[in-house]
Chain A
Amino acid sequence: MPGTLDMLILKAISLAPMHGYAIAQHLRQVSQDILQVEEGSLYPALQRVLGKGWAKAEWRETPTKRRARYYTITAAGRRRLGDEVASFQRMQGAIQRVLRTQE
């Protein structure tokens, strides 16, 4: 679903600032390996999120002393996330209701 990846990214970085690899890890672990993205495809989405002003990025050192680019959610990003989640849930609820009536 278009925009879903953006939503997932926003959700991840809303918990804490993360770099690309960490976001991929996070999605994979939280979804118990069901959500497996080609990790490279995170980057166009991250650029989009940056472009819309939903997140900010800066190079920082990781706890393991590497340099990585950390993404931090902005206020606009949080608002957007709220909207996305709400509409996603509405959609999901609708789909479930449809599926249930068919049983």
Chain B
Amino acid sequence: MQITLPNLAQFINDLIKAGRPVVAPVKENNLSVYKPVNAFNEIHLGLPFPTKSAKEYFLADCEKILFYKFGPAGKVELQDADNPKELILFGVRPCEAVSYPIMDKVFSWDTHDNFYLKRREKNPVISVACEKCDNFCFCTSVGVTPQTTEGSDIFLQKTKKGNYLVDAITDKGKKLVEEHKNLFTQSGHEELIDFKGPEIKFDLKKIKSWLEKNFDHPLWEKISLPCIGCGICTFLCPNCHCFDIVDQANLKEGSRCKMWDACQFRTFTVHASGHNPRETQSKRFRQRIEHKFNYYPDKFGRTLCVGCGRCIRHCPTNMSLLETLIKIDKL
């Protein structure tokens, strides 16, 4: 199947007109941000990459999980949180799309976090194959390519003639296409824009086996010195998912909220006694790398990194996860 650019615009505009919110990258000043759009022409698919990932549309940065009212005589009345509303994510990159099935693992093992999972179930992801990358991209080193379709419900790939090859992958994706089938035509077998992505820069297996053996390596302290523990790497990361649970209330009523948190903060692990198992920034830095490239793969079978490069692009002290991994690879 394929779709012309005008028809793709109509597809998105029709969805919006039908009252289905569409979230897509929009250029604001020099940045690109994911936000709800009113029309296709607001959408910006090229570089720069959206600064933040779109994970907040699945794992909300502040998710109300409970409401309550204070009654007389110390009584409390609970009210359920609202069900997440449906939205369509358009124009995400393959590396972001693949981050969702990776994160699904933690939210669905053992018990199910439905705040996240219901959104995953409802919200279709329409991704577009990459045509360009920048110096911070390293998807190919962690097993993702500019044409990875995993995690996408509909996958679009531009042809050299400027049309888009359409791959409706899941039932959710097929349903969307079916609802607007007059806009799609049979594939004309047009030649695709062939983009290989960044070259492979390290050996993931080698990284993991080094991490298994070198928890106490002097490298950790040396390499983490510039880190100021601001945690921006974790907030921008499409796969970092740690959260806090906090209450907010007045004398009458209140709510409980799941909020993003980060292993890079000193207070993240501090015990009630004051003892902190990760009292220095180097230990917190090590946790981020070990968790992504060693612990998570062991527990859930996937590397918790898709090589999007956000943590490098926006680090205020110019620290580079990629350089760290290359350094480890060469040890």
Q: A and B bound?
A: no
